[in-house]
Amino acid sequence: MSESETPIVETDFDHHDPAFVADPHPVLAEIREEHPLIHSGHYGGFWLLSRYEDVTEAAIDWRRFTSSVVGTTVIPPSQPRDYPQLPIELDPPKHTLYRSIVNPIFAKSRVEALRPDLHELAASLLEPIVERGSGDFVAEFATPMSLGTLGMFMGLPVEDQPKWGDWVRRMFEGSINDPEEQKRAGQEFQDYLDGLVAERKQERRDDFISLLLDTEVEGHRLTDLEIRGFGVVMLMAGHETTAGAMSMTAQFLAEEPEIRSRVFAEPESIPSAVNEFLRLFPSIQVFCRNAAEDLELHGAKIKMGEVVALAYAAANRDPREFPEPDACVLERKPNRHVTFGYGHHLCLGANVARLEMAVMLAELAERMPNFELDPDQDPVWRARGDVRGLLALPLLLER
């Protein structure tokens, strides 16, 4: 990481400020271009890296920027707990060991096998919106689509899907607005996962929990707490991030009819378009590490244990890496965005998320190619700005 010509800046930067949540990119652009490293006093204090080179170097340098501090990946934590999310909150070599357990589940062939069922799910969710000529895209499509995909992928009960969404929403929203509600939701969520583990111990099924129960690591079966750690990641990260990406992409397409028409008219462009939409609208805006030792970075002294936030959204629009960084360039190549992280912590579910996005675009093109924002109802953003997405997106179909 190169030295900066500008001094370290102590700022009032707050990634959960409602103004930032609604439009983070001007704020991040100013920080990125003027100050490669800033410090904020919010949430116990943290440093922020925003340039692509710095973010990617920190993401792969686990010896200096550790992931193994429980509850630091997002601040404040979305769920009170004293056990790690697996394998996210581990460093190599343990991260490599635990990730290898679930790598086969995320094989491209297994993910691709979901495609027909996801098309069927997407079509069924869009049908009522098409019939009415209007609808809340988040409540009626993005949320049930992401939860339904998770249910298929993990082999978990379809009837429980509304509970998952409710718990995740209350944990994420409560971490900012209502800590007591967050705790209640977190406990209900943990009790549910523990209940599934107890049931599968009695009767195995063809699902994610049963697979983990039959897995050994370092000569022992996974403990109940380790299985819970995997389950938290799958349900929280797999739902909230994908629903956020789908909602922000739909909002953009409603506002940009020319781009929408081009994508819908050229199905072969969808994979590249998905990658560009993910670059422009990452659900995870900021993801955190801890300094594993005393560091000197851009002239600042960072003490061991201090939080260092990696601004993925800022890195994704760094002009040093992406020409015309704020433009939607559907055929952009290369497109080495960090929406799914970087290095050994590259998101396990990246292929699932890409497939969900591709299916969404294909079904929108077929069933509701012309839509716009409802002028009488404003979109509503989630409370958090580190895991960003819409809580409501009212749309009208153009007749």
CB 310 within 8 A of CB 286: yes
User: Is residue 3 domain-resident?
Assistant: no
CA distance linking residue 394 with residue 186, whole number of Å: 29
Report angle CA 272, 274, 280 to the nearest 5 degrees.
Answer: 105
CA distance linking residue 150 with residue 121, whole number of Å: 12
CA distance linking residue 238 with residue 255, whole number of Å: 26
User: Is residue 361 domain-resident?
Assistant: yes
CA distance linking residue 223 with residue 217, whole number of Å: 10
CA distance linking residue 230 with residue 117, whole number of Å: 25
Domain region containing 72 = 9-397
How many residues in total does the chain contain?
Answer: 399
Count structural domains, the chain: 1
Helical (H) or strand (E) element with 65 = strand 65-66
Helical (H) or strand (E) element with 390 = strand 390-392
Residue 289: give its domain's CATH number: 1.10.630.10
Query: What would the DSSP string read from start to end of 155-199?
Result: T--GGGHHHHHHHHHHHHHHHHH-HHHHHHHHHHHHHHHHHHHHH
User: Is residue 4 domain-resident?
Assistant: no
Cα–Cα distances in angstroms (integers) from residue 353 to residues 6, 63, 164, 239, 327, in the given order = 38, 29, 18, 10, 22
CA 148, distance to chain mean position in Å, is: 17
CB 22 within 8 A of CB 381: yes
Give this prediction's pTM: 0.94
CA distance linking residue 186 with residue 165, whole number of Å: 12
User: Three-class SS of residue 143?
Assistant: helix
Task: Find out whether the peptide bond into 369 is cis, omega within 30 degrees of 0.
Answer: no
User: Is residue 2 domain-resident?
Assistant: no
CA distance linking residue 28 with residue 304, whole number of Å: 25
362: left (phi over 0), alpha (psi -120 to 50) or beta: alpha
CA distance linking residue 350 with residue 141, whole number of Å: 20
User: Is residue 218 domain-resident?
Assistant: yes
Strands 46-49 and 307-311: parallel
User: Is residue 1 domain-resident?
Assistant: no
The tens-digit pLDDT sequence of the chain (399 residues) is 444 445 568 899 999 999 999 999 999 999 999 999 999 999 999 999 999 999 999 999 999 999 999 989 999 988 778 889 999 999 999 999 999 999 988 889 999 999 999 999 999 999 999 999 999 999 999 999 999 999 998 888 888 988 888 988 888 887 888 889 989 998 999 999 999 999 999 999 988 999 999 998 888 899 999 999 998 888 777 888 999 999 999 999 999 999 999 999 999 999 999 999 999 999 999 999 999 999 999 999 999 999 999 999 999 999 999 999 999 999 999 999 999 999 999 999 999 999 999 999 999 999 999 999 999 999 999 999 999 999 999 999 976
